[in-house]
């Protein structure tokens, strides 16, 4: 009686397990069949809408590069070689606009000697205007200890109003820039007619006037551009008049000074078609600084004249550029 009951229970369990396995198999088979049909249909649809996208690999450049536009220069109040870098991190201008502000000597009237980028400064940082490298700051041989490490000629032949953008390369510089600097490079690009003209606009005029209380200087600048898609040009003029920079010292005042500068730039573009463009640029800068200083209990008058002129001719063929530089 015991054996019969055990056999019946075992038979019921076997029948239940067999039924469950059969149901699972049928469900899996149906799902596999449905998945196969769906995948086949999706493959057929994708083959008719397949798209291939290609793109050039990104160019890797040495160091880091940052650009400052003309509008940004105006917003930060840049009015000379040093104030251009006023809000740039890890960048400053070496030297002083008045010369004696660094405490070296009353004869040190060479102006700014360059930029300091990440600890490298002066002639170790290259400066170029429209691709033309600027001369290095020249040291002064002087008998007195007060004249040691001073400069007779700086590198600040720059009026910020004349330029449309400034490119700053920190650290190692790219081989695209013609310079031998090891601490970075600062490139000044003059304003172009393309910055103001576009299809439907054949002329542009701009005027700017400003005052700086630190040296009581006035600035007046004019920009005129005109032309069409084939022939166009631009003319820029800037005039600045000022005095010595106040040091706000109650003990020793700055040496009296009276200076003025003139800068103008003319550029023309001839573009007969989309593949060829001929550009010529001429810019001129002149600054005169009259300074009074004491020497052996005598009042002396010193006059310094800084002049710089450059000419750039460039010819563009599609994506290639051939430049002829003269200065």
Give the total number of structural domains in the chain: 1
Any domain includes 48: no
pLDDT at 137: 74
pLDDT at 99: 43
Any domain includes 25: no
Q: What is the largest CA-CA distance in the chain?
A: 140
pLDDT at 300: 56
Q: What is the DSSP string of 101-138?
A: GGSS-TT------EEEETTB-GGGSEEEETTEEPPPPE
* CATH code, domain carrying 271: 2.170.130.10
pLDDT at 240: 95
Any domain includes 50: no
Any domain includes 11: no
pLDDT at 254: 74
Listed residue (275, 198, 196, 199) closest to 236, CA to CA: 196
| Bridge partners (DSSP) listed for residue 262 | 239, 286
Contact by Cβ (8 Å): 141, 200: no
Any domain includes 53: no
Residue whose tokens read 């920190």: 170
Q: Which residues of the chain have pLDDT under 70?
A: 1-17, 19-48, 61-63, 95-111, 139-154, 175-180, 293-327
User: Could you tell me which residues come within 8 angstroms of residue 238 by beta carbon, excluding any fewer than 6 positions away?
Assistant: 159, 161, 162, 219, 220, 221, 222, 261, 262, 263, 264
pLDDT tens digits, 113-126 = 788 898 888 788 88
Q: Can you read off the two tokens belonging to residue 196?
A: 């103001």
Any domain includes 319: yes
Q: Rounded distance, CA 225 to CA 205, Å?
A: 6
- With a threshold of 0.75, does the pTM exceed it? no
Full residue range of the structural domain in which residue 131 is found? 64-326
Mark 98-113 as b/e (b = at least 16 C-beta within 10 Å). Answer: bbbeeebbbbbbbbbb
Any domain includes 174: yes
pLDDT at 103: 38
Angstrom distances, CA of residue 102 to CA of 121, 131, 235? 15, 31, 36
Any domain includes 17: no
pLDDT at 244: 83
């Amino acid at each position: 009686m015991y054996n019969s009951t055990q056999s019946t229970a075992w038979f019921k369990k076997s029948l239940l397990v067999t039924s469950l396995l059969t149901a699972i198999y049928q469900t899996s088979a149906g799902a596999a069949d449905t998945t196969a049909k769906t995948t086949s249909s999706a493959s057929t649809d994708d083959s008719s809408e397949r798209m291939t996208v290609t793109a050039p690999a990104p160019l890797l450049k040495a160091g880091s590069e940052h650009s400052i536009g003309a509008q940004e220069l105006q917003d930060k109040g840049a009015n000379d070689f040093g104030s251009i870098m006023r809000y740039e991190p890890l960048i400053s201008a070496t030297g002083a606009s008045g010369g004696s502000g660094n405490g070296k000597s009353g004869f040190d009237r060479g102006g700014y000697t360059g930029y300091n980028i990440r600890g490298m400064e002066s002639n170790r940082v290259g400066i170029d205007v429209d691709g033309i490298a600027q001369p290095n700051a020249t040291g002064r041989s002087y008998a007195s200890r007060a004249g040691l490490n001073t400069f007779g000629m700086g590198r600040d032949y720059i009026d910020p109003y004349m330029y449309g953008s400034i490119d700053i390369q920190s650290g190692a510089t790219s081989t695209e820039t013609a310079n031998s600097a090891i601490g970075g490079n600062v490139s000044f690009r003059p304003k172009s007619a393309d910055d103001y003209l576009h299809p439907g606009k054949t002329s542009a005029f701009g005027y700017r006037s400003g005052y700086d209380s630190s040296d009581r200087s006035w600035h007046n600048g004019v920009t005129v551009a005109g032309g069409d898609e084939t022939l166009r040009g631009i003319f820029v003029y800037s005039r600045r008049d000022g005095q010595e920079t106040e040091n706000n010292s109650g003990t020793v005042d700055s040496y009296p000074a009276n200076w003025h500068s003139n800068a103008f730039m003319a550029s023309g573009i001839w573009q007969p078609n989309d593949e060829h463009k001929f550009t010529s640029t001429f810019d001129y800068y002149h600054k005169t600084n009259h300074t009074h200083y004491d020497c052996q209990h005598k009042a002396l008058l010193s006059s310094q004249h800084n002049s710089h002129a450059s000419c750039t001719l460039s010819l563009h063929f599609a994506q290639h550029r051939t430049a002829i530089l003269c200065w």
